[in-house]
């Protein structure tokens, strides 16, 4: 293979590997189950490729609080659904529903959250939203 051909092949292979690594499967979540977590927002990380929310759960009697992580869609998708990076702030009390991780860890795919102070419900299910510009 000529030097230009080898260089082109190497650059294409590196670009493909980077793109493949940048996104992951959702097979780690159990979409047949829903878990509800009541707690306080610790952090909303508004970054690509997926927004993350950390919640400190309300502890059960005699038990320590646990930290839960929920993975959402991208900031762009959430913005189109009416979210902002300040939608949920540290200290907000929420009731969050997630599709849990299959390995039993404290985390999952975000389904919805209810802001307990106002009753406002946040969702990240694009299929349940009207398309942009729809009446």
Q: Which residues of 37-61 are buried (b: 16+ CB within 10 A; e: fewer)?
A: bebbbeebebeeebbebbbbbeeee
pTM over 0.75? The answer is no
pLDDT for position 122: 93
Give 2-18 pLDDT, tens digit per residue: 555 544 444 444 444 44
CATH topology (fold) of 35-128: OB fold (Dihydrolipoamide Acetyltransferase, E2P) (2.40.50)
108 close to 29: Cβ distance less than 8 angstroms: yes
- More confident call, 31 vs 21: 31
- Nearest partner of 72 among 62, 83, 60, 61, judged by Cα: 83
In angstroms, the CA 13 to CA 60 distance is 51
| Domain range annotation of the chain | 35-128
Lowest mean pLDDT among 7-21, 31-45, 83-97: 7-21
pLDDT tens-digit series, residues 36-78: 999 999 999 999 999 999 999 988 788 888 999 999 999 999 9
Q: How far apart are CA 36 and CA 112, in angstroms?
A: 9
Which pLDDT does position 124 carry in this prediction? 85
């Amino acid at each position: 293979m000529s030097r230009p051909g080898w260089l082109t092949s190497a650059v294409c292979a590196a670009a493909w590997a980077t793109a493949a690594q940048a996104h992951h499967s959702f097979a780690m979540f159990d979409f047949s189950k829903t878990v509800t977590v009541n707690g306080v927002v610790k952090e909303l990380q508004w970054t690509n490729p997926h927004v993350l929310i950390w919640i400190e759960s309300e502890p059960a009697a005699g038990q320590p609080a646990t930290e839960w992580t929920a993975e959402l869609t991208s900031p762009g998708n959430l913005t189109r659904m009416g979210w902002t990076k300040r939608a949920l702030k540290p200290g907000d009390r929420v009731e969050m529903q997630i599709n849990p991780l299959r390995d039993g860890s404290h985390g999952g795919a975000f389904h919805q959250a209810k802001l307990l102070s106002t009753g406002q419900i946040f969702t990240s299910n694009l299929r349940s939203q009207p398309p942009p510009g729809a009446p």
